Amino acid sequence: DNHREDEREELMALYATKGFRGKLLEEVVQVLMADDNRLLRVMVEEELGLSLGVHEHPLKQGFGAAVGVIASVLLTCLGYIVWPAYGVPIASLLAIGIAAGIYSALERNRTIPAIVWNIGLGCLTSGCVYFLLDYALGGAA
């Protein structure tokens, strides 16, 4: 409440640079100043460049995670059935690649780099786990 006039001046300057003038500028600033939550959101997003994104409902997130886990398990089991020696790691990397491709497409991100990076990180992680287990078990792995 102590800085309301400063905030008002900042909003006037901010929206004036966006092309608002006169009565319209006054109305926009008045609407923003009337709601503290909206004012905070605008100040954070416009001045700091941070995005206060919208989050999905937790049940929707949980359902999506469950579908992903079930699909990955089925794909990995199929890999084991088709090729017992190397099917599991290949199917796991395939699942990582498919998940990365779907996610990057939904986020409108570059798909190929996302797939390559995720598969690379999967290989690195798998290798680290393998060699750490080999070291911890004394070469028995």
The structural domain count of the chain equals 2
* 8 within domain boundaries: yes
Single pTM value for the model: 0.58
Domain span at 10 = 4-47
In terms of phi and psi (left: phi > 0; alpha: psi -120 to 50; beta: otherwise), the region of 51 is beta
Q: How confident is the model over 63-101, as pLDDT tens digits?
A: 999 999 999 999 999 999 999 999 999 999 999 999 999
Residues 6+ apart with CB under 8 A from 83: 90
Tens of pLDDT along the chain (141 residues) come to 567 888 888 888 988 998 999 999 999 999 988 988 888 888 888 777 777 776 788 999 999 999 999 999 999 999 999 999 999 999 999 999 999 999 999 988 999 999 999 999 999 999 999 999 999 998 765
Residue 125 shares a structural domain with residue 71: yes
Distances (CA, A) of 103 to 4, 115, 141: 42, 10, 34
* 95 within domain boundaries: yes
Residue 95 shares a structural domain with residue 63: yes
Residue 97 shares a structural domain with residue 76: yes
The three-class DSSP label of residue 70 is: helix
Residue 46 has a pLDDT of 79
Residue 30 shares a structural domain with residue 96: no
Residue 111 has a pLDDT of 94
Question: If we measure between CA atoms, which residue out of 104, 89, 96 comes closest to residue 69?
Answer: 96
Residue 67 shares a structural domain with residue 111: yes
Residue 74 shares a structural domain with residue 116: yes
- In order, the DSSP letters of 44-92 are HHHHS----PPPPPHHHHHHHHHHHHHHHHHHHHHHHHH-TTTHHHHHH
